[in-house]
Copies of this chain bind each other. A is one copy, B any other.
Amino acid sequence: MSQIAFVLGPGFTALDVVGPYELLRLMPDTEVRFVSHEPGPVPTDSGVLSLVASHSFADTPSPDIVLVPAMLPDSPRVDKIVDWLRQVHETTQWTTSVCGGAVLLAMAGILTGHPATTHWIAQPMLAEFGAEPQPDKRVVRSGKIVTAAGVSAGLDLALWLVGELHGPERAQVIQLMAEYDPQPPFDSGHVSKASPRVLELATAEMQRLYGSAVGSRE
């Protein structure tokens, strides 16, 4: 039985967690759990939605797979999460992040010298912590560390991981179960595809929502 710990931290982004969970939970012989400081509801960045942590960090000393979503990195509660990540990384099979979750791995020293990716607006923060940002890659693997780009990229990370762990046929079965056959009606999901005006508006909106927690592209 393989144990997957999804980290629920202060002001985390729900889809960073729920996208990968919805695919990874369908793997055979897998226990998924949602970990936080203590069991109970943890509010997301919207302030409206909460997900319920099933376990505490103390109850989860050695997950096989850990997945870290974006959260508010300047919250005082983050220190404990960073310490826990540093500790569990020693024995994980895979250490993974989605979106700004890579910033927490970087704060834990886990990404030092490693290629990695994150949300486009947070790429400069990875470099500050000694990682090697790969802003044009959606999923980056370096040894047992796998990082994904922003928010929705966790679906691609998870499907890739199913293929690594259980082979391509099982990954295809899970892809079909989740009907993951994306057909976005617009095509501006990457900085390289968005117009300058769309990039400017998105940057302003990210900074309005997340303030000093996200880097500036100016």
Contacts and interface: CB of A to CB of B under 8 A. Distances in A.
A190 B193 CA distance: 26
Nearest to A161: B185
Nearest to A181: B189
A153 interface: yes
Interface string A12-50: 011100110110011000001110000001000010111
Given A18-B14, A48-B32, A184-B159, A199 B178 contact: no
Contact of A26 (B99, B179, B193, B205): B205
A218 interface: no
Interface in A147-195: 149-153, 155-156, 159-160, 163, 168-169, 171-186, 188-191, 193-195
Interface in A77-117: 99
Contact of A179 (B34, B153, B197): B153
Interface string A52-84: 101000000000000000000000000000000
A117 to B, nearest CB: 10
B205 A191 contact: no
Contacts of A193: 181
Interface residues of A, number: 67
Interface of A: 13-15, 18-19, 21-22, 25-26, 32-34, 41, 46, 48-52, 54, 99, 119-120, 138-139, 149-153, 155-156, 159-160, 163, 168-169, 171-186, 188-191, 193-195, 197-199, 201-202, 205-206
Given A41-B41, A152-B155, A178-B150, A183 B138 contact: yes
Contacts of A178: 15, 150-152, 189
Contacts of A155: 152, 182, 184
Contacts of A138: 181, 183
Given A48-B54, A149-B179, A173 B41 contact: no
